[in-house]
Amino acid sequence: MVAPARCPAILIAAPASGQGKTTVTAALARLHARQGRRVRVFKCGPDFLDPHWHQLASGAPVHQLDLWMTGEADCAQRLHDAAQSSDLILIEGVMGLFDGTPSAADLAQHFGVPVLAVVDASAMAGTFGALAFGLRHYRSGLPWAGVLANRVGSARHADMLQGGLQDADDWMGALMRVQPTSNAPTAGKAGAALLPERHLGLVAAHELGDSRERLDAAADALAATPLGQMTLDDLQRWAVDFPAPAVAEAVPPLLVGRTVAVGRDAAFCFIYAANVQCLEQMGARVEFFSPLHDAALPHCDAVWLPGGYPELHTPQIATNTGMQASLRAHVAAGKPLWAECGGMMALFESITLADGSTAPLWGLLPGRVTMQKRLAALGPQQLAVAGHTLRGHTFHYSTSESNAPVVTRTARPNEAVTPDAGEALYQQGSIHASYFHAWFPSSPEAVAHLLRGVSA
């Protein structure tokens, strides 16, 4: 029997979104990584953007942990593997600590990982203590590390916050407001400018020229807190034994001998590393290309156009007629194309942007998309494909109108498919397209059907 792997681990959570979880997680990873420590970071729940920052901060790949979408066995395997080769494991929570099913608290309790609560304390004093007490004691048996006050205005403010705690040992310090060190874009919420945001979440780290400097500024600020001053010996108080999971079934080699071209650039960047890994485990040769800049597809048997930000790059999409022609030729030859969310959007005829203007797209699918000012859909979803079920999620700010055939729809976990709910799965020729973001390891068989041109 394989022995458990023991490693200090913390799950960084908050009472709500927008409290600074990502900044604190990335700052803590950067602080330890630049001291030569091996740090592995995970993201709880579906998220494409925060992992960009965590990978830059830690220098290691970042994977998702979700008891439903990725599954308990996958979570256990990844945590056990990480614990064998790391000095510290960090897991960033999702939304508020107890939000969602499963929640970040469910994950922490399932694996015994202590919770560090990050609270935006910019507009509170004594209530900070009540909030910390509630987070710690709301659920019996929740592993607990402490609480960190974020966006604190002064040393006096920090003293007021610390004085409000019922248990002095809960105090992990106060992170003062940190400002960017350059004139790089800072669009987003007040007080969150260090890691700027846009409508789908954080601006990805690779989009900013001073990303590392931003992380260093956050790490330097965190270094002044009790949390940031902890040594490896200190961190042993949060050591967790991660049991070895049962031996997983081998991924079936359903794509042996096939080349899958995967779009990857500024407009098409919502790619789970585990999805690429799954394609390779299925025997596929993965070839990346830029739908924005390349004049044609690489030689391939199938194409995956992932999600991203096509709405921010409509001029490049419209003018890249070479890629448009190459995609048309690919489909005309009967070769499969799987397009999800932003990838699907780019295939429509046109898009109406948030300012009301209209821009042309590639026109491989009939219809148009329209950007909304608010979220159009959000949450976990599952998609039945040829008798198999893919798990994943949906998250988009646009709506679509199309007369392309709808072969099925997604459904929420443990719910039946209905005609007026869930995301449509369009099929036109060898194109399958949906707003649905798939987690490939949940069903390699379903992925093989989409990428081998078999009808869903």
Q: Is residue 79 part of a domain?
A: yes
Asked whether 108 and 13 are in contact (CB, 8 A), the reply is yes
Q: Domain of 152: which CATH number?
A: 3.40.50.300
DSSP one-letter string for 210-239: THHHHHHHHHHHHTTSTTTT--HHHHGGGE
Q: Do 216 and 266 fall within a single domain?
A: no
Q: Are residues 237 and 269 in the same domain?
A: no
Round to whole Å and give the CA distance between 266 and 377.
22
- The per-residue pLDDT for range 334-357, each reduced to its tens digit, is 999 999 999 999 999 999 999 999
Same domain, residue pair 42 and 119: yes
Q: Domain end: 209, 242, 275, which one?
A: 242
Residue 45 and residue 79: Cα distance in Å, rounded? Answer: 15
The pLDDT tens digits for 15-53 are 999 999 999 999 999 999 999 999 999 999 888 888 889
Instruction: Give residue 122's identity as a one-letter amino acid code.
Output: S
Residue 164 and residue 15 in one domain: yes
Q: Same structural domain for residues 292 and 422?
A: yes
Whether residues 164 and 299 share a domain: the answer is: no
What's the longest Cα–Cα distance across the chain?
70
Residue 248 lies in a domain: no
Distance, in Å, from the CA atom of 392 to the CA atom of 68, rounded to the nearest integer, reads 9
- Do 62 and 17 belong to one domain? yes
Question: Contact 260/451 with Cβ under 8 angstroms?
Answer: yes
Which of 212, 242, 272 represents a domain boundary (last residue)? 242
Catalytic residue among 7, 269, 300, 341: 341
Same domain, 299 and 230: no
Shared domain for 326 and 404, answered yes or no, is: yes
Spell out the residues 6+ positions from residue 415 whose beta carbon is closer than 8 angstroms to its own: none
Contact indicator for 351, 313 with CB cutoff of 8 Å: no
Q: Is 297 part of any domain?
A: yes
- Could you give the residue ranges of the DSSP H alpha helices within 239-300? 273-281
61: in domain: yes
The total of structural domains in the chain comes to 2
Domain contains 426: yes
- Cβ pair 60, 207 in contact under 8 A: no
**Residue 456 is assigned to a structural domain of this protein:** no
Q: Can you tell me which residue has the tokens 């998220």? A: 47
Q: What whole-number distance in Å separates Cα of residue 221 and Cα of residue 223?
A: 5
With respect to residue 373, please indicate whether it lies within any of the assigned structural domains. Answer: yes
Residues 444 and 274: beta-carbon distance below 8 Å: no
Is residue 341 among the annotated active site residues?
yes
The answer to the question of residue 204 being in a domain is yes
Per-residue confidence in pLDDT tens, the chain, 456 aa: 678 999 999 999 999 999 999 999 999 999 999 999 999 999 998 888 888 899 999 999 999 999 999 999 999 999 999 999 999 999 999 999 999 999 999 999 999 999 999 999 999 999 999 999 999 999 999 999 999 999 999 999 999 999 999 999 999 999 988 765 544 433 333 334 566 554 445 555 566 667 888 899 999 999 999 999 999 999 999 999 999 888 878 899 999 999 999 999 999 999 999 999 999 999 999 999 999 999 999 999 999 999 999 999 999 999 999 999 999 999 999 999 999 999 999 999 999 999 999 999 999 999 999 999 887 788 999 999 989 999 999 998 899 999 999 999 999 998 888 777 889 999 999 999 999 999 999 999 999 999 986 544
C-beta of residue 393 within 8 angstroms of C-beta of residue 399: no
Q: Amino acid identity, residue 407?
A: V
Is 71 in the same domain as 170? yes
Q: Where are the alpha helices (H) located in 244-311, listed in sequence order?
A: 273-281
Final residue in a domain of this structure, among 214, 242, 270: 242
Domain that holds residue 332: 259-451
Q: How many CA atoms lie within 13 A of 294 on its CB side?
A: 19
Is 95 in the same domain as 190?
yes
Whether residue 380 sits in one domain with residue 341: yes
3-state secondary structure 45-73: CCCCCHHHHHHHHHCCCCEEECHHHHHHH
In 3D space, the residue among 102, 80, 100, 99 whose CA is nearest the CA of residue 89 turns out to be 80
Give the CATH number of the domain where residue 362 resides: 3.40.50.880
Note the Cα 424 to chain centre separation in Å.
Answer: 22
